[in-house]
Amino acid sequence: MDLKQHLRGRNLKWNWDSITDYCVKHPKSIQQIVDYCIDEEMIICQNAGAVLGKIVDLDKKVLIPFYKQMLYNLTQSPHDAVKRASMRVWQYAEITEEFEGEIFDQAMKYVADKNEAIAVRAFAMTAARKVCQKYPELAQELLPFVETMVDQKLSSGIISRGKKELKLLRALET
């Protein structure tokens, strides 16, 4: 499959599903998807991010070998779709010990950034909370940001997710 050509295709669910299925069946191809997340063509980045976020739905472990590059990609001012997809991966997949600190720091950066897209902040909130479950002392860093987002009523999604995350974070404090 010519992944780049398919990524140039339209932003349609069936196209993303087709690429995602191929990648899970051919895990070596995932390297290309991760590389395309910082491609010069915006449509390539956007669609690669969407596929990355869908791969985790089919296999929660297949992306672990790519965490280092995914984190690197986030330092390259990626498209919102790439940020959203990366945080979505870490909200569902296992966060390995090797990357807990970096993922927590990146998630906190997104949670704290008022200019960041709502979906990125929502997924980052959950990714950061997952790390807090292993290191409860970190919950006090995340709590004020989540409380503020809920209080500001940024969106119904943030309110709903924020309330769930606050309950889980407060339980870690006891």
For 117-142, give the secondary structure using H, E and C.
CHHHHHHHHHHHHHHHHHCHHHHHHH
Which among 75, 94, 113 is the end of a domain? 94
Terminal alpha carbon distance of the chain: 52
The verdict on 78 and 39 lying in the same domain is yes
- Residue 15 in this model has a pLDDT that exceeds 90: no
Number of domains in the chain: 2
The verdict on 17 and 28 lying in the same domain is yes
- Residue 10 in this model has a pLDDT that exceeds 90: no
3-state helix, strand, coil in the chain (%, to 5): 80, 0, 20
In whole angstroms, what separates CA 76 from the centre of its chain? 15
The verdict on 41 and 66 lying in the same domain is yes
Place of tokens 């606050």: 166
The verdict on 113 and 70 lying in the same domain is no
Q: What is the pLDDT of residue 11?
A: 66
The verdict on 53 and 86 lying in the same domain is yes
Mean pLDDT, residues 27-53: 93
Q: Which domain holds residue 71?
A: 1-94
Which among 60, 77, 94 is the end of a domain? 94
Q: Evaluate if pTM is beyond 0.75.
A: yes
The verdict on 42 and 100 lying in the same domain is no
